[in-house]
Structure 1
Amino acid sequence: MTSSCLLRRTLAALAVTASFCAVSTSAAQSYPERPITVVVGYPAGGSVDLTARLLSEELATQLGQSIVVENAGGAGGTIGAQRVARANPDGYTLLVGSTNEMVIAGMINSAVRYDSAKDFTPIGMIASQPMLLAASKTSGVTSAQEYLDKLKSGEPGQYNFGSSGIGTTLHLAGEMINESTGTKAEHVPYRGVAPLVTDLISGQLNYGVLVLSSGLPQVKGDKIVALGVTEKKRSAVAPDIPSLSETPGFEQVDINVWFGLYGPAKLPEPVVTRLNEALTAVLKSDAFRTKMSESGATLYEPGIDGARFLASETEKYGRLVKLANIEPN
Structure 2
Amino acid sequence: MQTHRRFVALVLAATFVVPTTALAQAYPSRPVKLVVAFAAGGPTDVLARVVAQGMSKTLGQQVIVENRVGGGGTIGTREVVKAQADGYTLLFAGDAALTVQPQLTANAGYDARQDFTPLRLVASQSNVLVVNASKGIPDVKTLLTRAKGKQGELTFGSAGNGSPSHLIGALFEGQAGVDLVHVPYKGAAPAMTDLIGGQIDMMFVGTPVALQNAARKELVLLAVTGDKRLPSLPQVPTFAEAGISQLGSETAVWWSVMAPAGLPAAVQSALDEALRTALSDGQVQKNLTTQGVDVLNLDAKTTAQWISRDQAKWGALIRAKKVSAE
1:193 correspondence with 2:151: no
* SS in structure 1 of the partner of residue 126 of structure 2: strand
Deviates more, 1:274-283 or 1:231-240: 231-240
2:30 alignment partner in structure 1: 34
1:219-246 superposed Cα distances (whole Å, 9 cap, x missing partner)? 2233321111122222233222221221
Q: Distance in 2 between matches of 1:241 and 1:48?
A: 25
Deviation, structure 1 residue 20: 8.5
Distance 1:180 1:300 in 2: 27
How far residue 111 of structure 1 moved from its aligned partner, in angstroms, is 1.4
- Distance in 1, Cα, partners of 2:217 & 2:87: 46
Deviates more, 1:164-173 or 1:283-292: 283-292
Distance 1:296 1:196 in 2: 20
Q: Which amino acid aligns with 1:112?
A: A
Q: Which residue of 2 aligns with 1:272?
A: 268
| Match of residue 125 from structure 1 | 121
State whether structure 2 residue 116 is matched by structure 1 residue 135.
no
User: What SS does the aligned partner of 1:246 have?
Assistant: coil
Q: Which amino acid aligns with 1:120?
A: F
Contact 2:24 2:270 in 1 (8 A): no
RMSD: 2.0
The one-letter amino acid paired with 2:59 is L
Contact 1:283 1:302 in 2 (8 A): no
1:164 positional shift: 0.4
Q: Which residue of 2 aligns with 1:163?
A: 158
* 1:127-150 CA-partner distances (Å, limit 9, x unpaired): 101111110121111212221121
**Which runs of no fewer than 5 residues in structure 2 stay unpaired?**
1-7
1:65 to 51, 61, 67: 61
Q: Is the 8 A contact 1:132 1:229 kept in 2?
A: yes
SS of the aligned residue for 2:124 comes to strand
Q: What secondary structure is seen at the aligned counterpart in 1 of 2:118?
A: strand
- The partner residue of 2:245 within 248, 251, 257 is 251
Q: Find the aligned partners of 1:186 and 1:212 in 2 and give their Cα distance.
A: 23
Q: State the partner residue of 1:6.
A: none
Count of paired positions = 314
Counterpart of 2:105 in structure 1 is: 109
User: Is 2:175 the counterpart of 1:174?
Assistant: no
Q: TM-score, normalised by structure 1?
A: 0.90
TM-score by length of 2: 0.91
Counterpart residue identity of residue 309, structure 1: W
In the alignment, structure 1 residue 289 sits paired with structure 2 residue 281? no
Distance 1:94 1:142 in 2: 44
Corresponding residue of 2:314: 317
What is the CA–CA distance in structure 2 between the aligned matches of 1:242 and 1:309, rounded to whole Å? Answer: 25
Shift in Å, 1:89: 0.5
2:72 is aligned with what amino acid? Answer: G
Which stretch of structure 1 is more off in the superposition, 294-303 or 310-319?
294-303
SS of 2:268's equivalent in the other structure is helix
Q: Distance in 2 between matches of 1:62 and 1:120?
A: 23
Which stretch shifts more, 207-216 or 269-278?
Answer: 207-216
Aligned equivalent of 1:95, options 83, 91, 96? 91
AA partner of residue 155 (structure 2): N
Indicate which of 228, 235, 250 corresponds to 1:233: 228
Q: What's the offset of the Cα at 1:327?
A: 4.5
